[in-house]
Amino acid sequence: MKIGFDAKRAFSNHTGLGNYSRYIIRLASENCDCIDQVNLYTPSKSLESLPSIDTHNANIRIPNRWIYKKLRPLWRSFGVKNEINIDDLDIYQGLSGELPLGGWPQKVKSIVTIHDLIFLRHPEFYKWIDKSIYYYKFKTACRNATHIIAISECTKRDIMFYFNISPKKISVLYQGCNPIFRETKSISEIEQIKIKYDLPEKFMLNVGSIERRKNILLAVKAMGLIENPAPLYIIGKETEYCDEIRRTIKELNLEKKVFFLKNIPTSELPAIYQAASIFIYPSLYEGFGIPILEALCSGTPVIAAKGSCLEEAGGEHSIYVDPFDVEAMATSIDRILNDPELSDMMTSAGKAYSERFNDDVIAEQLNDLYKKVKRKKQ
């Protein structure tokens, strides 16, 4: 089978969508026995951004006509179809909610991955023009695709509700996380990280973009209700939301309890996760919640928010609170920090639950899906 991927994010994005793209391309290239050839279609390439993919096993396709070299987004939306047709693909997969527009080569099946429809669930976090563009691209891709991958049951329900798509056309295929989070760090490695970033014996952790939707302010406010809480370390790209967080930190006299860490290499994150006493992820809405899976693989107890897909990522032994309930968050933090038996149970149960997201499981599901889609009639 010949399969092609929209690889723009794999080459250009170093976070969520890029990580997912590289993850699926790697599984398809290395673990799917039904695939003989992999083609990566990208408007521009930088091999340095693909450290986890053996590009020798893939053919990389970039614009070759001068007009598409000048107007690369146009190539991705329209011009790439000619390349797909010439390459005689069996399946083309859009990895970030998009497929090329216009007429489609009839002999080529298509799959689109939808990560989330947060722009419809929480439109207040998006500009009008962005919402309009996302709605058109995602709806069109879902209508035109041979099959749809949703990365959670929550996302599947949203696709059915907002786009009126039959559930038969949608498969839920969870994603895993970077394998480095499954590697147990030695005591000396963890101690070195704690010394480097001045981390205490007990601390809480949050990882992800520091934006309003991620709702980490809930945890900060909860700390104001706890007597002598463990410090909270927040890692991620800062936005204007950080100003509000810092004001609250000052109002609650938490300057020595809440800290922001910047520019942490991915290679150091596993040791930080493994050193943490609690991982807190009170996001208002997610498509899946990869940081929760990273925490579970690291053996760190998780507190997350109810209301989207986070229960799917965290399993039944993580703790979930209403994303607006400060007291519930404070109670949950205090409970884990002061109950070693509960913490140990959450650690072992979380690690066991994380095994359903390992590479072998997901690769087998992906392999079966490609075979199923190839057999489908257009």
**pLDDT for position 142:** 97
Residue-wise burial string across 103-131, b where 16 or more C-beta atoms lie within 10 A, e elsewhere:
ebbeebbbbbbbbbbbbbbeeeebeeeee
Query: Distances from the Cα of 58 to the Cαs of 29, 131, 179, 264, in angstroms?
Result: 8, 34, 21, 30
**pLDDT for position 46:** 64
pTM for the predicted model, two decimal places: 0.90
CA 37 to chain centre: 26
Domains along the chain?
2-176+358-375 (3.40.50.2000), 179-354 (3.40.50.2000)
Residue 116's contacts (CB-CB under 8 Å, 6 or more residues apart) are 151, 155, 158, 285, 286, 287, 288
Q: Which of 28, 16, 6, 22 is nearest to 363 (CA)?
A: 28
**pLDDT for position 63:** 86
**Number of Cα atoms under 13 Å in the Cβ half of residue 229:** 29
Query: Distances from the Cα of 102 to the Cαs of 43, 63, 99, 219, in angstroms?
Result: 18, 18, 10, 47
**pLDDT for position 112:** 98
Q: Are 38 and 5 in contact (CB under 8 A)?
A: yes
Q: Are 45 and 12 in contact (CB under 8 A)?
A: no
**pLDDT for position 356:** 93
Taking the CA atoms of 342, 343, 349 and 353 in sequence, report the sign of the dihedral they define: positive
Residue-wise burial string across 52-70, b where 16 or more C-beta atoms lie within 10 A, e elsewhere:
ebeeeebeebbbeeeebee
CA distance 105 to 103: 7
Residue 31's contacts (CB-CB under 8 Å, 6 or more residues apart) are 359, 360, 363, 366, 367
CA distance 334 to 55: 48
Q: What are the structure tokens assigned to 174, written together?
A: 């969870």
Taking the CA atoms of 32, 37, 42 and 45 in sequence, report the sign of the dihedral they define: positive
Q: Given the DSSP bridges, would you call strands 91-94 and 109-114 parallel, antiparallel or unpaired? A: parallel
**pLDDT for position 330:** 98
**pLDDT for position 50:** 54
Q: Name the β-bridge partners of 278.
A: 204
**Number of Cα atoms under 13 Å in the Cβ half of residue 55:** 15
List per-residue pLDDT tens for the chain, 378 residues long: 999 999 988 888 777 888 899 899 989 988 888 898 999 999 887 655 555 555 556 888 888 887 877 788 888 888 888 888 889 899 999 999 999 988 787 789 999 999 999 999 999 999 999 999 999 999 999 999 999 999 999 999 999 999 999 999 999 999 898 889 999 999 999 999 999 999 999 999 999 999 999 999 999 999 999 998 999 999 998 999 999 999 999 999 999 999 999 989 999 999 999 999 999 999 999 989 999 999 999 999 999 999 889 999 999 999 999 999 999 999 999 999 999 999 999 999 999 999 999 999 999 999 999 999 998 876
CA distance 205 to 156: 29
DSSP 194-239: HHHTT--SS-EEEES-BSGGG-THHHHHHHTTSSSPPPEEEES-B-
